């Protein structure tokens, strides 16, 4: 038996700022040494490599590459123009545009950080010129970026599907309604804030011809999630192959239709993709090793015994788990957190009769919200660097939006139909 003291190595190294990959790797090393099982150390590199060398994980760099191509290819500006034509005339119009653009961009990138970076660099300065405070503009951008990993495609859903052996297509479908609900909730909150602060709106509603022109510009990029999900549902390709199809489609429309990408842009795109994908995949491999030693130490059984000692009520346990997931998400990036918590907690909730897809969405939403929550929320750090505003100031402006996020979490948790209706309709991923 491996002593669970290795957990403290992980917690302490994270607390002092050690990169997540090294924290996840150091903890198992300490655990095996403490248990006098040093011979297991020889298997660690092999376990790490096996954790990365999986065909389903190839979807991660492919989806990242598709997002980078579209961002470089001028797609972001087209989505902003479309959002502006749709909701720019509402009170706090540019803030509403920010949210709608995030919903549209989510179908291309699958990443909250990419959403914050791409849209924030464009819309935060624009909102400031329109009379919004820079801190509030950063807050809206951060709050709406949470939608990125919920609406398909989603990188963290691919990771969860790989580690827990659930349907990627089913997870993508399960995220559609919660993602849209999150966006609509943020828009309602923005309207209330805009009315109270008298934020500006577009003088005139966009004309029919302006809307048609914006839609014409944005329709081709918006077909990306349709191609991905439609191809998976129709059985034309696997989720990994869907990533490859997304790359080909993004390259075609960016190079040959929009013609924004030049030959000189290819190398920087590939470099950024390689850096982003390698950091994620290394964390995946390290998390697989961490999950292995967690199983050897008996942590899942001990945690199950502890949770059921507190309550045997399904809803009480789900509420406690939500609080726990949110807390973890404040300190740990979503990908590694999913890889660590999924195998440990999922068997517990399955005993309660929770559908695997339902639990997956609960976990993903909680950890994604954690990305926008201090003290370690990565979205906040990106928004802070763009806006040059302190994280605590941005977080203070986000308080109304945190209410929306919490209400979404509770609704998805206690009303399973929100996430399960569409997968049930298509009979995908439901047990």
Residue 48 CA, distance from chain mean position: 23
Is residue 87 in a domain? Answer: yes
34 occurs within a structural domain:
no
pLDDT at 242 over 80: yes
> What tokens does 289 get?
């090793």
145-182 per-position pLDDT tens digit? 999 899 988 889 998 988 888 989 999 999 999 999 99
Give residue for tokens 């996840």: 24
When pLDDT is cut at 50, 70 and 90, the band that residue 39 belongs to is low
Q: What percent of the chain has pLDDT over 70?
A: 98
Q: Is residue 29 part of a domain?
A: no
In-domain check, residue 386? yes
Q: Is the pLDDT of residue 185 over 80?
A: yes
Establish if 269 belongs to a structural domain: no
The pLDDT tens digits for 387-403 are: 999 999 999 999 999 99
Question: What is the model's pLDDT at position 335?
Answer: 82
Q: What would the two tokens of residue 12 be?
A: 């302490």
Tell me which residue of 235, 83, 111 sits closest to 169, measured CA to CA. 235
Res. 139: pLDDT tops 90? yes
How many DSSP H helices and E strands does the chain contain?
A: 22, 0
Domain that holds residue 358: 54-261+297-426
Is 236's pLDDT higher than 60?
yes
d(CA 405, CA 41): 42
First to last CA, the chain: 34
Using a 10 angstrom Cβ sphere, with 0-12 exposed, 13-18 middle and 19 or more buried, the burial of residue 425 is exposed
User: Does 8 map to a domain?
Assistant: no
Distance CA 176, CA 428 (A): 14
Q: Does residue 245 sit in helix, strand or coil?
A: helix
- Does residue 31 fall inside a structural domain? no
Check: CB of residue 101 under 8 Å from CB of residue 80.
yes
Please count the structural domains in the chain: 1
The C-alpha R_g of the chain, in whole angstroms, comes to 22
Question: Average pLDDT for residues 283-303, to the nearest whole number?
Answer: 80
pLDDT digits (tens, 9 = 90+) for 118-128: 888 888 998 88
Q: Give 366's pLDDT tier (boundaries 50, 70, 90).
A: very high
Q: Which of 200-204, 242-246, 347-351, 400-404 has the lowest average pLDDT?
A: 200-204
């Amino acid at each position: 038996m491996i002593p669970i003291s290795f957990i403290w190595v992980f917690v302490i190294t994270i607390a002092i700022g050690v990169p997540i990959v090294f924290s996840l790797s150091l903890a198992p090393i300490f655990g095996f040494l403490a248990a006098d099982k040093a011979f297991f150390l020889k298997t660690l590199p092999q376990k790490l490599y096996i954790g990365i060398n999986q065909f389903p994980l190839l979807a991660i760099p492919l989806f990242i590459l598709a997002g980078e191509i579209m961002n470089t290819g001028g797609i972001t500006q087209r989505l902003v123009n479309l959002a502006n034509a749709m909701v720019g005339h509402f009170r706090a119009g540019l803030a509403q545009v920010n949210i709608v653009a995030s919903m549209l961009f989510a179908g291309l990138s699958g990443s909250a950080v990419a959403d914050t970076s791409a849209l924030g660099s464009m819309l935060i300065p624009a909102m400031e010129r329109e009379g919004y405070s820079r801190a509030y503009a950063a807050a809206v951008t951060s709050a709406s970026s949470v939608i990125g990993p919920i609406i398909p495609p989603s990188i963290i859903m691919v990771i969860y599907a790989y580690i827990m052996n659930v349907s990627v297509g089913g997870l993508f479908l399960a995220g559609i309604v919660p993602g849209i609900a999150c966006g609509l909730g943020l828009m309602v909150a923005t309207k209330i804030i805009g009315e109270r602060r008298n934020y500006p709106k577009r003088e005139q509603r966009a004309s029919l011809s302006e809307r048609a022109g914006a839609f014409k510009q944005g329709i081709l990029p918006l077909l990306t999630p349709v191609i991905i999900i439609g191809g998976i549902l129709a059985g034309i390709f696997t989720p990994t192959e869907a990533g490859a199809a997304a790359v080909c489609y993004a390259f075609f429309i960016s190079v040959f239709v929009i013609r924004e990408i030049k030959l000189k842009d290819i190398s920087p795109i590939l470099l950024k993709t390689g850096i982003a994908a390698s950091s994620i995949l290394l964390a995946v491999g390290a998390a697989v090793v961490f999950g292995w030693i967690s199983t050897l130490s008996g942590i899942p059984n001990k945690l199950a015994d502890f949770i059921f000692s507190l309550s045997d009520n399904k809803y009480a346990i789900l509420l406690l788990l939500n609080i726990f997931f949110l807390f973890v998400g404040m300190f740990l990036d979503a990908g590694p957190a999913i890889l660590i918590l999924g195998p440990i907690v999922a068997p517990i909730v399955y005993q309660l009769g929770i559908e695997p897809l339902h639990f997956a969405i609960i976990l993903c939403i909680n950890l994604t919200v954690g990305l926008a929550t201090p003290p370690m929320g990565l979205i906040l750090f990106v928004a802070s660097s763009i806006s040059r505003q302190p994280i605590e100031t941005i977080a203070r402006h986000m308080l109304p939006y945190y209410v929306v996020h919490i209400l979404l979490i509770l609704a998805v948790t206690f009303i399973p139909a929100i996430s399960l209706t569409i997968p049930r309709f298509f009979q995908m991923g439901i047990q």
